[in-house]
Structure 1
Amino acid sequence: MDFSLFFFADSAGSSAEAGRYRLLLDGARFADTHDFTAVWTPERHFHSFGGLYPNPAVTGAAVAAVTERVQIRAGSVVAPLHHPARIAEEWSVVDNISGGRVGVSFASGWHARDFALRPENYADRKDALLETVETVRRLWRGEQVDFPDGNGEKRAVRVFPPPVQPRLPVWITSAGSPDTFRSAGRLGAGVLTHLLGQDVTALAENIAGYRQELAETHGDQARGHVALMLHTLIGTDRDQVREQVQGPFTDYLRSSVDLIVKAASGLLPPGLDVNRLPERDKEFLLGHAFDRYFTGSGLFGTVEDGARTVRALQAIGVDEVACLIDFGVPHDEVLKSLHHLAELREAVNS
């Protein structure tokens, strides 16, 4: 099982004085020196939840500059918001800075508001995702691709600088849609996913569908790669860990209550605006969501607790746990917990 670090902080809970990107860089250095596989940063726009990360190529370049071995990944590039040549250019630069350590997960986008950047692509965003992945792959291989220029004429372009890696490692981000898992299989890409819109049983079914499609399209030897995001804090005492994370993680959930609590709780009918509920009801849902994450949708507790969780995920075909660590626990406590997470990685893989 691969272990990596994933960052998706709520920017409202950080300050420039404290160093908004200190945990990212310190965590990346730790991952680099303790045999973790990758560091992931997302693309997020116009909301404090995840708002520290509007451009994963920029944060990826920063991680590349302070590390030597760990892979540097986007989780995710929102493909319909960008010209494919621009994606290839930016990530080729990061590939060069890092000496060939980048990978990109592509997403179709989730909020209409994000498409203020490219409103014309919102309606067909799923098709745009697949087209962009294939075009970026071609550009990455050094092929010339025709695009219309300022005069409306087709121009063949090739991106510079050329990347270090001959092939770009690619994932497709899925919130739990079986069709997205199968699309990733047909593309021969990996899958980056989470337990927000699916439980472990549904995830197992999705992974099976993904691997079936992968085998049918690319042969029985094609296994692919499934990375699962899990909020994570590992310590020496489960009750103490719960006490450490309950306040910060509940606040973290509160920062995007309409997105997370509704999906995680499954208690609300479609179309109901969570933000318009009475405060008492909202707090009940937050408590329910926290319990769900702590007991079954996160990686919390001791090394032994974590090992049970990870082995169960291994059994259904998960290849990598992408550990979300920046949800409000103080910086020094998170860094201390990473030593226990490293112990967990060693315990599972021994």
Structure 2
Amino acid sequence: MDLSLFYFAHDSTEAGDGGRYQLLIEGAKLADRAGLAAVWTPERHFDPFGGAYPNPSVLGAALATCTQRIGIRAGSVVAPLHHPARIAEEWSVVDNLSGGRVGVAFASGWNAVDFALRPESYAERRTLVRDTAEQVRRLWRGEPMAAEDGLGRAVEIRAYPPAVQSELPIWLTSAGGVDTFRAAARMRAGVLTHLLGQSLEEVAGKIAEYRRVAAAEHDGWTGHVVLMLHTLLGDDLERVRELVRGPFTAYLKSSANLTAKSFLGKDVDLAQLNAADMDYLAARAFDRYFDTGGLFGSVERAAELLPHIRALGVDEIGCLVDFGVESRAVLDGIDKLGKLHEIAAR
């Protein structure tokens, strides 16, 4: 089982002492030296929480030039917001800059406001994500794509520059829907998922279904599953708990619709919850995720969780580190991830 670095939720309004992207760049360098498998960057729009990441290919290009061996991946490209040729072009550039280290997870998108970029795609986004991913794959291989030019003429286009990798490694991102797991299996794509709104047992069942479909559709191919886990490693458990409590609780509140369903077992009208209810819900969620749903504390404590994650069928843990904890503590924790990665690889 591999470990990788995952960025998702940095507050774009705070530049910090060393610049807005210091944590991203310095963390990627540390992960590169520590032997981690990849560094993932997301696509987020129109919100301070995550708004520092509007385009993963731009950030991937920066990371490609300051790292040597680590994979450079999108986690995720919101496929319905983009023309497939544009995705293929941008990521082929990053593949060239990195010497063939690119991978892309494709997401359908969920936030309607993001679709201000392409409102006509919102209704069909779940179909478009699969169609777009397949079109990008074909363009990546050098195959032509039928299109219409500015004069209304039918033309064929190809994506340039040619990529280093002959085949683009891809994943589909799932917030928990088993149909997405099945679709990824049929497409011979990996799955990228997380624990917000689903239990470890539920994830295990969906991975088993993914493996079953993948093996049946592709002659024994079993696929690749990446599970995002919030992560902060340190020497003292209680010190880590206090560093994490405030920012992670705020993060959970920002995902309250998923958090509430996870604990109450049903969809909840958040408008009916007052501030005290929200605080209670977030506090319960924090205790649960800190104890069983993240990699928190010492290397040794985090290592105890690894066999349980591996038993779910997970191939890679995406260690999500930028959820509001001070940068120095995050970077110190990334340094320790190298030791955990050695344990995970055994």
- TM norm structure 2: 0.95
Preserved contact between residue 6 and residue 40 of structure 1 (Cα < 8 Å): yes
Preserved contact between residue 10 and residue 252 of structure 1 (Cα < 8 Å): no
If asked which structure has higher relative contact order (CA below 8 Å, sep 6+), I would say 2
Preserved contact between residue 81 and residue 121 of structure 1 (Cα < 8 Å): yes
Q: Give the CA deviation at 1:332.
A: 1.2
Structure 1 counterpart of 2:90: 90
Q: Give the CA deviation at 1:12.
A: 5.0
Structure 2 counterpart of 1:272: 269
Moved more, 96-105 or 237-246: 237-246
SS for the counterpart of 1:109 is coil
- Backbone CA RMSD of aligned residues: 1.7
Q: How does 1:27-176 map to 2 (within 5 A)?
A: 27-176=27-176
Partners of 2:255 and 2:198 in 1: CA distance: 18
Cα-to-partner distance string for 1:199-243 (whole Å, 9 max, x where unaligned): 1111111111111111111111x1211000000011223222212
Where do 5+ consecutive residues of structure 1 fail to align? none
Partners of 1:266 and 1:300 in 2: CA distance: 25
Preserved contact between residue 7 and residue 41 of structure 1 (Cα < 8 Å): yes
Preserved contact between residue 257 and residue 267 of structure 2 (Cα < 8 Å): no
Preserved contact between residue 57 and residue 94 of structure 1 (Cα < 8 Å): yes
Partners of 2:134 and 2:270 in 1: CA distance: 37
Q: Per the alignment, do residues 93 and 178 of structure 1 end up closer, same or farther by CA in structure 2, a change over 3 Å counting? A: same
Partners of 1:332 and 1:16 in 2: CA distance: 11
Which amino acid letter does the alignment assign opposite residue 15 of structure 2? S
Q: Per the alignment, do residues 259 and 121 of structure 1 end up closer, same or farther by CA in structure 2, a change over 3 Å counting? A: same
Which amino acid letter does the alignment assign opposite residue 101 of structure 2? R
Preserved contact between residue 13 and residue 328 of structure 1 (Cα < 8 Å): no
Partners of 1:190 and 1:48 in 2: CA distance: 30
Structure 2 counterpart of 1:308: 304
Structure 1 counterpart of 2:331: 335
Which amino acid letter does the alignment assign opposite residue 269 of structure 2? L
Q: Give the CA deviation at 1:273.
A: 2.7
Q: Give the CA deviation at 1:16.
A: 5.9
Structure 2 counterpart of 1:248: 247
Partners of 1:263 and 1:47 in 2: CA distance: 23
Structure 2 counterpart of 1:235: 234
Q: Which of residues 239, 251, 262 in structure 1 aligns to 2:260?
A: 262
- TM norm structure 1: 0.94
Where do 5+ consecutive residues of structure 2 fail to align? none
Cα-to-partner distance string for 1:293-339 (whole Å, 9 max, x where unaligned): 10121111222221121111111210000000111211111111223
Preserved contact between residue 115 and residue 121 of structure 1 (Cα < 8 Å): yes
Structure 1 counterpart of 2:192: 192
Q: Per the alignment, do residues 96 and 38 of structure 1 end up closer, same or farther by CA in structure 2, a change over 3 Å counting? A: same
Counting aligned pairs with the same residue, the percent is 55
Which amino acid letter does the alignment assign opposite residue 145 of structure 1? M
Preserved contact between residue 84 and residue 135 of structure 2 (Cα < 8 Å): yes
Q: Per the alignment, do residues 54 and 264 of structure 1 end up closer, same or farther by CA in structure 2, a change over 3 Å counting? A: farther
Cα-to-partner distance string for 1:177-202 (whole Å, 9 max, x where unaligned): 11100100000000000001211111
Partners of 1:188 and 1:179 in 2: CA distance: 14
Which amino acid letter does the alignment assign opposite residue 295 of structure 1? D
